[in-house]
Amino acid sequence: MTMVSGKVTLLSAGPGDLDLLTIRAAKALERADVLLLDDLANAQLATLAPNARVIRVGKRGGCKSTPQAFIQRLMRRYAAKGLHVVRAKGGEALLFGRAGEEIADLRRAGIEVEIVNGISSGFAAAAGLGVSLTHREHCQGVTFVTAHLQDDSEPDWAALAATRTTLAIYMGMSRIAHVCARLAETLAPSTPAAVVQWAGSASERRLLSRLGSLADDVAAAGFGSPAVILIGDAIGAAEGFALDASSASAQDDANAAPRRPLDGYAYAA
């Protein structure tokens, strides 16, 4: 197979703030001729690609999206002209970003593919909460899972719950009540849980709760996508998780300290 002269970089843009980009990502953007900018990536990435033609190729669940086949045609077309195409994806490109399909398609076309790793929103969410996803006193690992498969079926929630790992659930907000109900068939309703919306960005919002009440708390607080759902005993290590409402109210009334997060309490970054 004859290789074309251009190439495609699948670039992990991180969860939001530009200061979470890697140096390697910044260098790739500087060299880009064409920037295909995902809807979940920070739009200001374009300022780091001064010589690039910027094409927005939004893909978000529940919204009008650019077809995947069209995005792949764009990558092949511009790379075939000898250009450096940067496909900027929110979070980590290799995690729930269709990178596998794109890599295979580009290789079939004889196009060089470069992969630049980055920070996934699941890690940014844990950092915002100040917890370790693999705290050895609470679990033996972490499982990253999407709430629905390509054919719109769902994972085996009972099997996932039985692993006793921390569950980092992506793309699950539209069906959070169902997900929690299925997990509660195996896990205790008191299992610590959290939702972090817009993790790693200036708009980040966090909510601490427990599995049995998480869906109701999310609805009451008005949380939505994009957000990561975290479930497992390790989440109970988040600061303020064990406080009860009465002690927090006393703190607030006395103006002794700023309000800290409670079970079912949402707060901003």
pLDDT digits (tens, 9 = 90+) for 142-170: 999 999 877 778 999 999 999 999 999 99
CATH 3.40.1010.10 placement within the chain: 7-116
Catalytic hit among 105, 171, 217, 263: 171
Known catalytic membership, residue 38:
yes
- Domain 121-268 CATH assignment equals 3.30.70.890: no
pLDDT digits (tens, 9 = 90+) for 62-81: 556 789 999 999 999 999 99
pLDDT value at residue 249: 28
Q: Which CATH class is domain 7-116?
A: alpha beta
pLDDT value at residue 88: 96
- Max avg pLDDT among 46-60, 83-97, 144-158, 252-266: 83-97
pLDDT digits (tens, 9 = 90+) for 101-144: 999 999 999 999 999 999 999 999 999 999 999 999 899 899 99
Least confident segment among 154-168, 214-228, 232-246 = 232-246
CATH 3.30.950.10 placement within the chain: 121-268
DSSP 9-71: EEEE-BSS-GGGS-HHHHHHHHH-SEEEE-TTS-GGGGGG-TTPEEEE----TTS----HHHH
Prediction pTM value: 0.85
Cβ-Cβ contacts under 8 Å for 1 (sequence gap 6 or more) = 110
Within a 13 Å sphere around the CA of 180, how many CA atoms are in the beta-carbon half? 25
Catalytic hit among 7, 38, 173, 217: 38
CB atoms within 10 A of CB 14: 29
Catalytic hit among 59, 75, 89, 173: 59
Give the residue, 166 or 202, on which the prediction is more confident: 166
